[in-house]
Structure 1
Amino acid sequence: MLIRQMVGVTGREAERAVLEGLVADVAAGRGGSLLVEGEPGIGKSALLAAPLAAAGAAGCEVLFGQCDELGQRLPLSAMTRLLGVPPRSSDPRHAQAAPPRRRPPDRAGRDPHPGGADPMVAATEQLLARVDRLCASGPVVLALEDLQWADEATLLMWRSLCRSAAQRPLLAIGTCRPVPRRPALTRLRRELRPRGGRVLSLDGLSEASVSELVGVLAGGTPGPRLAARLGSAAGNPLYVRELLGALVRGGSLDRAAGTVELPADGRDTGELQALTDVVADRLAALSAGAQRVLRTASLLGPEFSVADLTAAAGGADLLAAVEEALSAGVLESAGSRLRFRHTVLKEVLHETIPSALRAGLRRHAVRELVAAGAPVERVAELILPAVREGADGWEWEWLADNAARLVHRAPVIAVELLEHALRRADADCPRRHVLADRLAALYFRTGRADRAGELARSILLATSDRELVGRARWLLTSIALRAGRYQDVEANWHAALGDPRLAPPWRAGLLALLATARGFQGRLVAGRAAMSVALAEGVRLDNATTVGYALNAAALIRSREGDQGGALVLADRALARIGDDRELVDLRLMLLGHRAVALDSLGRPGEAEESLAHARALAERTGPVLLSMSLVRIAERYYEHGRWDDAQTVLDEVTDLPQGRWQLARHGLRALIDARRDRQQEAAGHPQAPDTEVAPPTWPVAASYRIVARSLALERTGRPREALQVLAALLAPAYEYDTRRHPEWLVGLVRLALAVDDRHTARTAALESRRHAHIEPLPATRAAAQWCRALLHHDPARLLAAIDHHRTVGRLPDLANALEDLAVLRAASGDRDAARVAFGEALALYAELGAVWDARRAAARMRPWGVRAGIRGPRSRPASGRDALTVTEQRVAELVVQGLSNPDIAAMLLLSRRTVETHVSHILGKLGVRSRREVAAVTAGTAGTAGTAGTAATGGTAGTEVTGGTGGTGVESPGRAPVTVRGARSAPAPSARPGSRPSPSQNRS
């Protein structure tokens, strides 16, 4: 080991200095990332040896792992080994990080429903949380070698670790070869430097360094002939060492007077020019039994367990062969496993096996591993090379029997194997349809809806299996429902009605999905009829899935009818009926969404936030599609409550939305925030934004966001009549659900109509708002109806109830708009003092929100009454420093100072770990520091200083003065007493519950 370390630092002084600096940084609490790349044998591993040892001596927890070629299709295998996560662990830091168990499949070997939770996504999130908690205990160094062989999930996780390494005491060191060139590795290289990471490319050693290396290995300076021979190694330390070893074994070196030289008479192994020849020379010295065992081991990958080798090698004298290979330096220990000392050793052994014999040996190894009870993913590792080499079909039977488990344990490798099997299988083979079913469910779960639908349709055309037919029709309907193609849901149902192959449980379940689609379309009577039949059939069959989906449709319909209390009861009933069934995660997320909407409408915002936090935690274990849909729901709520910075942060996390209404909702939310913040270029639209003109109004709220944003954009450019024409589309019956969810939009329509003297449209919108309050007599709809009447009849007293409501529930954008309208009405009635107070608080709230356009509109409306914003009007939040932190970032910073990990902060604030990670990154950037420790020094005694009355939910530093014709101040500057509008009840103190909106006093240290 000492010689290896010396070899690793010879000629690498500059690279060693970089590593030593990074180790010193992480020991001091400053994280970083490093990628070391170079050809095999160039010295990557040896270079790391001394710095990693030094890191351990400095008190860092050092974890080392290695990827291998066969394991690159096995998700997270390298990361699980690196982090030392056993299947069951009592260590609280990683008790949740082992890959989750899943319920056993049914007797036919198939899961009950396609598209359940993704255990690999859950495992990734849990492993990342484990790293966070390790870092909370002290500095951590993670070293992962041979990233060129890493599976996609591992590379994504490694990139995430490198991106966030700077915000915790974590040093992430990866090594890789220049080839194969993988896109994920290219992205990693490209991302490192802009984020403060380093990339070291190791080239061959110089002649002087080679000479120094020979002195270490052979005890002398190389002579001219030896130097020429070693020149064929191109400065590669491994090649130099192996060539020297071969020359020593052949007795071809002479030593004299401190010089090592080849003999002048040519007594050397002249034919040993290529490294493969050198390696073959070394292996030839092993016994025949050891070579046989090693050839079998080469089929298992560069690293393997003793149990795997025992099963694959059969009755060979394993102990003696392994001991001989260890003594010869061909194998070495890797914890409880064995691995080849150099990858090239494995490659040479593998190539010495004739291809025909190689297939037979691999088949034997697979059978032995299966007989020994090896995990399906380990067996699949051996089958995949056989598939690529054109196996004769012996893998087919195993794959058909194990497809369900393989899909959940190793989805990437499952896709390749299943696609291969489908290409080879005969059209009339019954097992072909089972595999197509598993592959379709996998594609649906991972967002490949087009391919999933294609496979489902092929199943319907080719099989009479009632279970497979039911699953295929369910999948096609689920795809259409998720995309908002409700007409396709109806078409699938009518096709199912005429299909005699469809079993009663599937028919009832499809009817429940049809009821849901009709509910989204606003066809409530037809939806209720379908739901009632489906629910009765589900109860009769005692089928939890059918009952759950029927109750979900019932909750949706009840919500659209205006009975939010009834919707909440039905959603809770459905959640209790389906329990924690992982195969029904999609349904559970929909029910949690209904629950959050109902709770918010009923004036229980804290419980609504908890429901969405639960949904987010569940979605993080399902994959990017359902997670992205959940993030859009969360962003919607953040927008409504004025947490616009948080909404944008969450929307930035969205990666993979289905085509249709979800993408429209995302872009609509962005456009709304950009418009209200007067970001003209951003608000104009995003390159990938869907076309509003073709958006069906039956997509809940999604189309409405774009309508409101477009109306704002037109109003901002001085075209209020065109803005009114666009916004008036919300009066159509198709948008009734949307305007009940957002009753403030009808208020905005009344305001805009009155501004252009269109009293007919204003009265129509006010009557619609009043009708909504009658149908759905909730605080929000009643407040909106009073608000509309106040504008229509110039009655400021009617506005006080709306102000009181929005202050109580914390909907700051609506509160600010109501205060603006109150100020205008007070001024028009001659009460200038009251107008100044209301106007001042409205401007303060707009400043907190960053609502520049709203503030400009308010100032323009007040100008005719002689009330104007002072010279300290709404100011933008600074880009850097303590005052640049939003309130959420302030709270996160406070918890960072307390030493909490990102997962623990997320749990306290009802956020996701990834959202907290984003906030910490913003905090470090705004404060200009490199570590969590330095955050404490910068924020000591300053947390929460940027709040003012009614502004604690959104952060900001703006101060506001309001002056009028008689002079005077209408609102206090930051740090003074809260402003209260005369005639309105005082708002209750914000809750101290984790995740609730902090008050200014709570923000102060």
Structure 2
Amino acid sequence: MTAAEPVIFGREPELGELRELVASLVSGAGGAVWLEGEPGIGKTALLGQVIAEAARNGCVVRHATADRLSAQFPLSLLLNCLGIGPDAHEEELRELHGRLSAADPAAPVVADELAELVVTWCVTAPVVLLVDDVQWADEASLLVWQRLRALTEQHPLLLVAASGPARGRTEERGGGARRIVLPPLEDTAIASLAAHLASAAAPGPRLRRMLAGAAGNPRYAREIVRSLSRERLLEVGNGTAELTGEVAVSRSLAESVLGGLGFFDGQMIGLLRMAAMLGPAFSVTELSTVSERPVSDLVGHVEDVLSTGVLVESGLQLSFRHELVRQSLYETTPTALRLALHGQAAQVLRESGAPVERVGEQLLASISTGDAELDESGVDWLVRHGRELAHRVPACAAELLGAALVPLPAEDEHREVLLTARALALVQLEQSEQAHDLSERALDEVADPVRAAELTWYLVWSLAARRMADEAAAVIEKAETAAGFELRWLARMRAKLAQAHLMRGASAEAEATVDRALTEAHASEDDYALGLALHVRGTARARNSDLAEALVCYQQAASALGDDLEHADLRLQVLSNRMMLLFALGHAEEAGSALHEMLEIAERSATPSRLAVVRLSAANHYFTVGRWDDAAAELQAAGELTGEMTSHQLRWLHGISAMLAGHRGNRAAFEQLLAVAGEPTPDSQENSGFLMVASVLRAEIDGEPQRAVAMLTDVMDTSERFGSSYVWLPMLVRLARDIGNEEIATRATNTCVGGATVGAAPNILAAAQHCRGLLERDPITLRAAIEHYDKTTQPPKLARAVEDLAVVLAENGDKPAARKAYAQAVEVYVGLGAHWDLQRSAARMSPHGIRSPRGKRPRATTGWPALTRTERQVALLVGDGMSNPEIAAELFASRRTIEVHVSHVLAKLGVRSRVEVAVEAAGQQAQA
């Protein structure tokens, strides 16, 4: 590579393909390639690589770039590419320009002369012709380009055309040209690019979050790093490039990004600014309402923007492909105008009956800067809809209600309503200390007994959430003596107190308190109190290993709560516990149905923080049952909600993501995820378990099994209770055996067997059998564990147990049975895409003279072969005309998961619409 060539990241497959074409050309074989991708995705950089490679190999290289004016001048692009013009260096080309100027560009004689010229060049050396931004090319140039394609079959001629996405131009892709679609870069490639630009080893967590706005586009990633460097907002320390603080999109960065949208006219940019103010995703109806333009007037504009890839379809909504573009459009709108537009949008959406969360977001944005206050109509709307807003988007509600309360005098009639709604919002946000302070202050101010009772419930909730059971009990005791205090509030508070006792380990107090709460809930006929009390009783039963009774309690709690919006978060907690219990009991199919129900409820009515937890639970489940593509999709969707997650939930997210990347052999992503998460601390909580096991996996991948054993042994020795350690204890037994430490292998097995005697969940029993079979080198015991993993649909555990069986059989001298078992494990690993597991199992079988039955087959990066198994299923269902919700129901997945899969399908196939996906799917089915 010469010094002039750009450094390219993440395009190794495409670079390899283009270099092969040049090598074939030098050997005498011509060809044609169509390079396609959105603006800034790296097409021009790849063309530069082709130019440099061809020049090094002695080829004649000619190239040109089209622009928006090209279409107005027939043959302009091709003449520029061939160097034909009045100022050409060669007299022959000047003369040819004179002859062509007098001819009809569409006449066959013109194409004949240009083709003859190129053939003449091919006689002396291989020829490479490259044209960039073909989407702006004139029709005459395209017709001649098609004529030249025919020459590539007989002459050493390579044609390379690069195009942005454009609808209605599919004819240019035909004629035998090889099509290479450039999808967005992986996060690891963007991180490497940013590190290179910043002269660092890696970007830090805050910089990585900002780079996520580039959505895999290298041009935008470069703009981010260069802008931050110019403004001295980036510092490098210990090899890490990091933001000096939480940095918003700067004016200079926004203007640089918008410079890349120069192909849009002012009217379109104005419409995109309106869209940007509606948020990352919006409906065409909302855009029509806010812009006060009929939907029919927007059709052409929306299609144009979709064709460029600036906007993409997201289910029934539209969204900006690059959050950075949306932020740039937003930040470059003058502040005064922006606030006024938000206020106008809130009013128009209010009058149109839009969902409360959309109105609330616009109201909040309208007072986001300066001394702006809500007007009287805004306050009136909050009085009517504040509670619903608190359930839908509690963060928005808490801030908006707080702003509305500031200017209101103490005697204002609306204060009590707004105070109570804000306390509810803080409870929904699980901000227990703030909820406690507000509820206490509000109780001194509120006169209405019903609102006072509700605020007392929020006060007890805030105390119980912090395990302050004695203080909560004192508040309840005082409430019992208050005149007219409704029983339903006492029932709720009592159930919450029981939960606090349970969290403190006071089982007897919890049982007695929940019994009384159930009695009060039935007497008051309060569904929420009944559901909460049954939920607490179910948790108590599960902790006492009465799993069957716990399952009954959870089922009764879910039935009691029903579909009421107020009950949504609690119902999701109940369903989550029920799902995990069903799976632990070996009812995998029922657990999957419970998860699907959770996802439907969460996407419809959960608060953002609860939705984040549900997505993590779904990713957890999908990882366990071997639906790794769905796990990856849920993790991507969960990654959009990191602002709603606690630090504990972030560790959960990073842990599952790292496990997936590690097992799939994506080392760069694996290391980055572990770096973001930081060092895990041993504890028995499941959310940290994935991160801990991922760190153990890194030690094993690094060839340090002793370190891996030490880490797991430390966790085993410091865990206060059995918890979820059955998930990784078989791993510890295997590793301890591999390094010859029988003492630790025996202790780990005894720990797992001891847990199996305490809790009779089949998954724990299977783990105990797995450990015992490994320790005792007993194929019969291992097969018992394998049978359970198979029956309960746990392919990853099944494959690891079968791999262990193969090793034990080989050690026992039964090589035919070992080969058979090994082949079964390999088949599962290949289906999962578990490249590290394939590597590990091959290394374990090699000393026994048993080789892998299948070689590695690299997966394509674009086109139908690049789709994963799940993505192919989704694409075929799209081809059948099914909507995203229908596909979600068919595949037992969430709607957002299907949206993620569809976006991956669109990117890999290089298409822009579901119709084009359907055409591709139909072609694949016809070939099958």
TM-score, structure 1 normalization:
0.56
Tell me which amino acid in the other structure corresponds to 1:887. Answer: R
Larger radius of gyration: 1
**Distance across 2 between alignment mates of 1:575 and 1:708:** 33
Residue of structure 1 equivalent to 2:701: 716
Partner of 2:716: 731
Identify which of 615, 623, 630 aligns with 1:639: 623
In the alignment, does 2:657 pair up with 1:670? Answer: yes
Structure 1 counterpart of 2:796, one-letter code:
P
- In the alignment, is residue 630 of structure 1 matched against residue 836 of structure 2? no
CA distance in 2, matches of 1:302, 1:673: 42
Shift of residue 857, structure 1, vs aligned partner: 2.6
**Structure 1 unaligned spans of 5+:** 1-11, 49-63, 85-130, 146-157, 175-181, 191-198, 202-297, 309-336, 338-373, 945-1003
Report the AA paired with residue 778 of structure 2.
D
Match of 2:760 among 770, 777, 785: 777
Q: Is the CA contact (8 Å cut-off) linking 1:615 and 1:630 kept in structure 2?
A: yes
CA pair 765-143 structure 1, distance change in 2 beyond 3 A: same
1:482-497 maps to which residues of 2 (within 5 A)? 487-488=466-467, 490=469, 493-494=472-473, 496-497=475-476
Q: Displacement, 1:828?
A: 1.0
Aligned equivalents of 2:913, 2:383: Cα separation in 1: 51
Aligned residue among 844, 864, 885 for 2:867: 885
Give the CA deviation at 1:543: 2.2
Cα deviation per residue 1:633-661 (whole Å; 9 max; x = unaligned)? Answer: 00000110122232122111111443143
1:729 Cα offset (Å): 4.3
Structure 1 position 448, deviation (Å): 7.4
**Counterpart amino acid of 2:698?**
A
Equivalent residue of 1:662, what SS?
helix
Instruction: Identify the residue that residue 771 of structure 2 maps to in structure 1.
Output: 788
CA shift at 1:806, angstroms? Answer: 1.5
Q: Deviations over 1:251-277 (max 9, x none)?
A: xxxxxxxxxxxxxxxxxxxxxxxxxxx
Alpha-carbon contact 1:747-1:788 (below 8 Å) kept: yes
Cα separation, 2, equivalents of 1:636 and 1:171: 29
Aligned partner of 1:292 in structure 2 is none
Taking the aligned partners of 2:468 and 2:719, their CA distance within structure 1 comes to 19
Question: 1:506 offset after TM fit, Å?
Answer: 3.2
Contact 1:663 1:689 in 2 (8 A): no
Equivalents in 2 of 1:405, 1:801: separation in Å? 53
2:634 aligned residue: 650
Matches within 5 A, 1:678-717: 678-684=665-671, 686=673, 689=676, 697=684, 699=685, 701-717=686-702
- The 5-angstrom pairing of residues 23-102 of structure 1 reads 25=167, 79-80=285-286, 82=288
Partner deviation per Cα, 1:885-906 (whole Å, 9 max, x = no partner): 2221111011112122222212
Q: Distance in 1 between matches of 2:730 and 2:519?
A: 42
Q: Is the 8 Å Cα contact of residues 518 and 527 (structure 1) preserved in structure 2? A: yes
Q: Highest relative contact order (Cα 8 Å, sep 6+), 1 or 2?
A: 1
Contact between 1:882 and 1:926, CA under 8 Å: does it hold in 2?
yes
Paired with 1:909 and 1:398, the residues of 2 have a C-alpha distance of 44
- In 1, Cα distance between equivalents of 2:924 and 2:275: 49
> Is 1:141 equivalent to 2:283 in the alignment?
no
Q: Which amino acid aligns with 1:633?
A: S
Work out whether residues 473 and 497 of structure 2, in 8 Å CA contact, stay in contact via their aligned partners in 1: no
Equivalent in 534, 538, 541 of residue 551 of structure 1: 534
Shift of 1:876: 5.1
Matching residue of 1:927: 909
| Structure-1 separation of matches of 2:802 and 2:782 | 8
**Aligned residue identity for 2:844:** R
- Greater shift, 449-458 or 784-793, is seen at 449-458
The separation in 1 between residues aligned to 2:922 and 2:618, in whole angstroms, is: 31
| 3-state SS in 1 of match to 2:865 | helix
**How many angstroms apart in 2 are the aligned matches of 1:396 and 1:170?**
27
- The within-5 A match list for 1:753-768 is 753-768=736-751
Q: AA paired with 2:710?
A: Q
Give the distance between the partners of 1:633 and 1:171, measured in 2 at CA: 27
Number of the residue aligned with 2:589: 606
Give the Å deviation of 1:530: 3.4
Query: SS at the partner of 1:899?
Result: coil
In the TM superposition, what is the alpha-carbon distance from 1:588 to its structure 2 partner?
0.8
Distance 1:429 1:850, change over 3 A: same
Residue type at the aligned position of 2:696:
S
Percent of aligned positions with the same letter in both sequences? 30
Residue of 817, 824, 829 corresponding to 2:807? 824
Q: 1:414 to 1:640 in 2, by over 3 A?
A: closer
Alignment partner for residue 586 of structure 1, among 556, 562, 569?
A: 569
Letter matched to residue 661 of structure 2: D
Deviation at 1:575, TM superposition (A): 1.5
Match of 1:532, as an amino acid? Answer: D
Query: How many Å separate the matches in 2 of 1:81 and 1:735?
Result: 55
Does the CA contact (< 8 Å) of 2:618 and 2:631 recur in 1? yes
Task: Please name the residue that 1:917 is paired with.
Answer: 899
> 8 Å contact 1:505–1:546 — kept in the other structure?
yes
Matches within 5 A, 1:942-957: 942=924
> Within 1, Cα distance between the matches of 2:457 and 2:307?
35
1:533 corresponds, among 488, 512, 516, to 516
Question: Residues of 1 paired with 2:342 and 2:905: CA distance?
Answer: 49
The two structures have a TM-score, normalised by structure 2, of 0.60
Give the letter for the 2:415 counterpart: R
Instruction: Give the Cα separation in 2 of the matches to 1:169 and 1:464.
Output: 46
Partners in 2 of 1:837 and 1:23 — Cα distance?
49
Report the count of equivalent residues: 668
Whether the aligned pair in 2 keeps the contact of 1:929 and 1:935 (CA below 8 Å) is yes
Q: 1:903 aligns with which of 885, 892, 913?
A: 885
SS in structure 1 opposite 2:862?
Answer: coil
SS in 1 for 2:417: helix
Q: Which has the higher helix share?
A: 2
Change over 3 Å in CA distance of 1:507–1:684 after alignment to 2: farther
Partners of 1:677 and 1:850 within 8 A in 2 = yes
Separation (CA, whole Å) in 1 of partners of 2:364 and 2:817 = 79
Task: Kindly indicate whether the alpha-carbon contact (under 8 Å) linking 2:312 and 2:319 is maintained by their aligned counterparts in 1.
Answer: yes
8 Å CA contact 1:140–1:170 kept in 2: the answer is no
Question: Aligned partners of 1:79, 1:559: CA distance in 2, in Å?
Answer: 48
Question: For the Cα contact (< 8 Å) 1:26–1:171, is it kept in 2?
Answer: no
Q: CA deviation at 1:597?
A: 1.4
Q: 2 CA distance for matches of 1:520 and 1:465?
A: 33
Q: Aligned-pair RMSD on alpha carbons?
A: 5.6
> 1:14/1:695 Cα in 2 relative to 1: closer, same or farther (>3 Å)?
farther
> For residues 563 and 704 of structure 1, do their structure 2 counterparts lie closer, same or farther at Cα, with a shift above 3 Å needed?
same
Unaligned runs of 5+ residues in structure 2 are 1-67, 73-134, 140-163, 174-256, 334-340
For residues 559-591 of structure 1, what are the alpha-carbon distances to aligned partners after superposition, in whole Å with 9 as ceiling and x for unaligned?
333343322221111121122211010111011
Question: CA separation in 2, counterparts of 1:445 and 1:695?
Answer: 30
Is the contact between residue 467 and residue 500 of structure 2 (CA under 8 Å) also seen in structure 1?
A: no
1:150-197: per-residue Cα shift (whole Å, max 9, x none)? xxxxxxxx99997763699999999xxxxxxx988435689xxxxxxx
Following TM superposition, by how much is the alpha carbon of 1:822 offset from its aligned partner in structure 2, in angstroms? Answer: 0.5
Residue identity opposite 2:285 in structure 1: M
Relative to structure 1, the CA distance from residue 936 to residue 734 in structure 2 (aligned partners, 3 Å threshold; closer, same or farther) is: same
- SS of 1:25 mapped into structure 2: coil
Matches within 5 A, 1:167-178: none
